[in-house]
């Protein structure tokens, strides 16, 4: 209505006004209505009709809203609403169970498990020797400690697990071979002070570690 009045005023604006008289219309009513229809046909005035999916979603949303509202209304419809809701939940549970049972692993496809190969005690010891020649004493002490753990693991005295701490190895050695527990604890302390404590490390520490390592390996052979 506002748009029609606006167009009518525009149409009347063409004639000059005399005193208190209204201006004479310059356009016929048919022309005014035709102009209004042309304006309303423009894209900005169109109301797009909802799609089938949007209508279905709206219908489901309205039905659920009515169902939830009737659950707490307290009349006869409440019982029926609870029955409908229970039936819907039952259908969902049954379909979920059937869908879960229908999913079976393909026996033709093996599960790929990536396992990093463990380095032997000899490989760790060779790396320690190389670091010592280069003057990298902390790296050398770390490699030598790993070689000691690998030696004990090869004898079945400890479980070499990636990510295991030095304290866990120390506790396991104290339980499996208590006669060398103090020497292994001393070697572990040298490694921890150098690697985690960031203390200065040199040839003397490497020599002390080798002495403790030899005692542990000799004691475990017995």
Tell me which of 83-92, 158-167, 178-187, 213-222 is least confident. 83-92
Q: Note every long-range contact of 160-165, with CB atoms under 8 Å and residues 24 or more positions apart, other chains counting.
A: 160/118, 162/116
Structure tokens at 110: 């093996």
What's the predicted TM-score (pTM) here? 0.49
Q: How far apart are CA 188 and CA 167, in angstroms?
A: 8
CA separation for the pair 161, 171 (Å, rounded): 14
189-211 confidence digits (pLDDT tens): 999 999 898 899 999 999 999 99
């Amino acid at each position: 209505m506002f748009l029609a009045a606006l167009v009518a005023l525009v149409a009347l604006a063409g004639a000059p006004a005399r005193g208190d008289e209204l201006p004479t219309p310059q356009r016929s009513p048919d022309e005014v209505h035709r102009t209004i229809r042309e304006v309303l046909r423009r894209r900005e005035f169109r109301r797009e009709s909802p799609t089938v999916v949007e209508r279905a979603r709206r219908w489901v949303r309205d039905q659920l809203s009515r169902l939830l509202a009737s659950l707490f209304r307290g009349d006869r419809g409440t019982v029926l609403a609870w029955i409908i809701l229970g039936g819907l939940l039952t259908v969902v549970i049954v379909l979920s169970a059937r869908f879960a049972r229908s999913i079976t692993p393909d026996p033709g496809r093996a599960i790929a498990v990536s396992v990093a190969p463990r380095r032997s005690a000899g490989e760790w010891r060779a790396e320690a020797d190389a670091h010592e020649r280069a003057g990298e004493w902390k790296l050398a002490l770390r490699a030598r400690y790993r070689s000691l753990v690998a030696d004990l693991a090869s004898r079945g005295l400890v479980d070499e697990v990636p990510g295991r701490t030095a304290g866990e190895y120390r506790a396991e050695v104290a339980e499996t071979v208590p006669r060398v527990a103090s020497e292994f604890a001393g070697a572990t302390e040298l490694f921890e002070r150098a690697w985690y404590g960031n203390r200065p490390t040199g040839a003397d520490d490497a020599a002390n570690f080798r002495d403790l390592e030899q005692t542990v390996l000799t004691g475990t052979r017995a």
